[in-house]
Every structure is written in C-alpha cells, then in structure tokens.
Amino acid sequence: MTGDKEKLESYSVLEKGKKVSFGNDTPTVIKGKGTAQLKEKVKAGNVLYVDGLKHNLLSVSRMCDQGTKVIIQSNGCSVRDLDTGETVIKGRRTPNNLYIFEEGQQQCYLSKDDEHWLWHRRLGHLSFSQIRKACKYQAIHGLPDIKIPDNTICKSCQFGKQTRTNFPEKEGSASKPLELVHTDVCGPFRTRSPRGEEYFILFIDDFSRMVWLGLMKHKDEAFEKFKAFKALAENELDRKIKCLRSDRGGSLPQMNFSIFVKNME
Ligand SMILES: [Zn+2]
C-alpha cells in the first residue's frame, strides 16, 4: 500500500475502490493498483494506491504469495527468495516495534500503527489525558512521549461506553389514535394486589403513547380486559381500533382473541 502514485508501474485505476481505515478510523478510498520496485531485482505486485497515505506498507502475506519468505525476528526482518534462498531485502526493528526497510531515502514499513493509538489500545483504551499524565510522571516503563492526536474518537471506546445500540428506524407507526395498539401481559408477580390480582395487561396507543392498564387474577381474563378497553377507548375517542399488536403471542390467550376478531369481521 502506498500513498505515492509515482512508485507504481503498470498503474491501473480501480473504479469502485474499496475503503481502508487507519488508526484514526477515517476511511480512505483505494484509488488504483500497480507494481512497485522495492529493490533492484525485487518487485511487489498488487500494490494499492491510497491517496493521503503517509507511509508505504508492505503486506507480509502478499510477499509470501509472490514466492518469497518473510522472516521476522526480534531484532529485524528479512525477505528471502524461495528459489535461490538469497536474502533480497533486510529490515530493522525500531524502538516503536515497527519493522522498517530502508532503501536510500525511501522507507518501506512492514507494519505501521500510529504510536498514540497503539498505546491507547495497549493500555486497555486508556484516555489520552491519562496517557499524557502517565508520560509526565513516567509512570509506565518504556512508554514513549505520547502526544494527544487531533482526533481522539475511538470506535471501540464509543461502543464500550454505549449502554445500548441505536433505536432502529420506526416502522409502521400510527398516524392517528387507535390506529395501532400494543398489548402485553405481565406476571405472575410474587406479591399479589390487595384484591388478589397477580397479572396485568397493558394497552398502549402507538400514536399518543397513552397507556391503559388492567389488573387480572389470571391470564384468561386478558380477553375480557381487552373487550372492556376496546369499548372504553372507542367510545371515548369516537374511532375504532384498527390493529392490535402483541410482541409475544404466547402471553395472550390466542383462542379467545381469534374468535373475537372473527366476530368483528
Ligand atoms: Zn479506545
């Protein structure tokens, strides 16, 4: 992967370029691909051109696919030709744990991760202000002087702090009262009401969010409660209930309701 188009031979534009994202999570479009000359006899095929990429990244898997062996050791790395066994490129490891191929003025990174984001993840997604504090007091052995990046929004941190996911787009909601009524039966509860009820049924008007509640001694009373609610609500609002929706069919005594719906038709 490179941000320098000049490096690529036999360059071709990728029409619907896929996107890649880096440490700051900003997606960048892959604009094209070509072949890059790494050394006199070494080429890397399928090198992607990503506009704005500041470093050249070399994929270990791609290098292996094109007939070389990549050896990564604690002090450095090397690329060997599988046919001849000859070491074609040598790289060194930096104090930031990156493996770098140096070629004159040009640098080619095996893996590059923004240092501040790397440390943010290493320290269990610690906030940058705390990382700065740790740098200031030299509280962590080996921690380099981390600067706070311009964009400190971390996707994983956001997800971690979120208590619930976004509400899905509301579907089929009502535009008038009684157009859609939600219902649910709850219970049995351990503590009964003074009159001995241990269930309740809810009717919620989707449009107004008005809630009616009926207490019940048994689930079977749900249908009677519905009839009472229906008569009351329809009389009060002078309109008919068009749709009754229950999320858990099992909690409502199905039989009575289906007979009732048939009689209404
Ligand atoms: Zn984070």
How does pLDDT run across 125-137, given as a tens digit for each residue?
Answer: 999 999 999 999 9
22 vs 4, which has greater pLDDT? Answer: 4
44 backbone dihedrals φ, ψ, rounded to 5°: -120, 125
Asked whether 220 and 210 are in contact (CB, 8 A), the reply is no
Residue 205 is predicted with a pLDDT of 93
Check pLDDT > 90 for residue 194: yes
Nearest to 197 by CA among 216, 176, 223: 216
Token pair listed for 82: 């599988």
How does pLDDT run across 110-127, given as a tens digit for each residue?
Answer: 444 577 888 898 899 999
pLDDT band for position 60 (cuts 50, 70, 90)? confident
Residue 198 is predicted with a pLDDT of 94
Report the separation in Å between the CA atom of 26 and the middle of ligand 1, taken as the mean of its atom positions. 14
Q: Which residues place a Cβ less than 5 A from the ion ligand 1?
A: 125, 154, 156-157
How does pLDDT run across 141-176, given as a tens digit for each residue?
Answer: 888 888 888 888 888 898 888 887 777 766 667 889
How does pLDDT run across 198-232, given as a tens digit for each residue?
Answer: 999 999 999 999 999 999 999 888 888 999 999 99
Residue 256 is predicted with a pLDDT of 62
Check pLDDT > 90 for residue 99: no
Residue 203 is predicted with a pLDDT of 94
Domain spans of the chain, in order of start? 5-66+96-109, 115-161, 181-264
For 181-264, CATH gives 3.30.420.10
Instruction: Determine whether 255 is exposed, middle or buried from the number of CB atoms within 10 Å of its CB (0-12, 13-18, 19+).
Output: exposed
Nearest to 10 by CA among 33, 26, 38, 39: 33
Report the separation in Å between the CA atom of 49 and the middle of ligand 1, taken as the mean of its atom positions. 28
Mean pLDDT of the chain: 81
231 vs 30, which has greater pLDDT? Answer: 231
Report the separation in Å between the CA atom of 96 and the middle of ligand 1, taken as the mean of its atom positions. 19
Strand locations in the chain (E):
8-13, 19-21, 27-37, 43-50, 68-72, 76-81, 87-93, 99-103, 106-109, 181-186, 199-205, 211-216, 244-246
- What percent of the chain clears pLDDT 70, i.e. is strictly above it? 84
pTM above 0.85, yes or no: no
pLDDT band for position 106 (cuts 50, 70, 90)? very low
pLDDT band for position 108 (cuts 50, 70, 90)? very low
Check pLDDT > 90 for residue 59: no
Token pair listed for 113: 């991760």
Report the separation in Å between the CA atom of 29 and the middle of ligand 1, taken as the mean of its atom positions. 23
38 vs 184, which has greater pLDDT? Answer: 184
Report the separation in Å between the CA atom of 242 and the middle of ligand 1, taken as the mean of its atom positions. 48
Residue 173 is predicted with a pLDDT of 79
19 contact partners, CB below 8 Å, separation of at least 6: 27, 28, 29, 30
